[in-house]
């Protein structure tokens, strides 16, 4: 981690490196249902509260996949890999306005809610199908 910290410090004097030890996920450990509780407890010692306190324009950096997953599952924020930060910096990236900083680097967040337009179209389609079925059935009634 020393190399990554040196790189981040070279890129900005605003880098704040947490002494959090482990995120709690520890590879696949935290994904196992028997270990999920302890995984979350470890994450809540330092890392997860710090991420929750971070302003939206603070870029959260974590190189481990499991660390990034722990952060996403428990804070709603998405951490980025050091390589993504470096690539964005070389491309002249600037923090986005009014969104989380990582949204300017990572792919768009998936939509969590079912769009009302799709729901309305599905209901209209079902209504039309039922009406046609009823009309067809009525035409064949004795």
CB 95 within 8 A of CB 59: yes
List pLDDT tens digits, range 27-77: 778 778 888 888 888 889 988 999 999 988 888 888 888 889 999 999 989
pLDDT, position 111: 66
Neighbours of 87 (CB within 10 A): 13
| Selected residue with higher pLDDT from 78 and 57 | 78
What residue ranges do the domains of the chain occupy? 2-104, 111-142
Residue with tokens 């306005």: 97
Distance between the two ends of the chain, CA-based, in angstroms? 81
Q: Over pLDDT 70: what percentage of the chain?
A: 79
CB 75 within 8 A of CB 82: no
């Amino acid at each position: 981690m020393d190399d990554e910290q040196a790189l981040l410090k070279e890129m900005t004097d605003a880098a704040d490196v947490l002494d959090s030890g482990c995120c709690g996920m520890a590879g696949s450990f935290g994904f196992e249902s028997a270990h999920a509780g302890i995984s979350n407890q470890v994450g809540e010692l330092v890392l997860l509260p710090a991420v929750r306190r971070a302003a939206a324009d603070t870029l959260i950096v974590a190189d481990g996949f499991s660390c990034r997953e722990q952060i996403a599952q428990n804070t709603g924020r998405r951490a980025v890999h050091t390589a993504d930060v470096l690539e964005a910096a070389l491309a002249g990236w600037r923090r986005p306005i009014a969104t989380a900083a990582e949204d300017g680097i990572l792919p768009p967040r998936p939509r969590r809610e079912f769009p009302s337009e799709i729901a309305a179209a599905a209901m209209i389609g079902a209504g039309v199908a039922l009406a046609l079925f009823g009309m067809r059935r009525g035409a064949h009634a004795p």
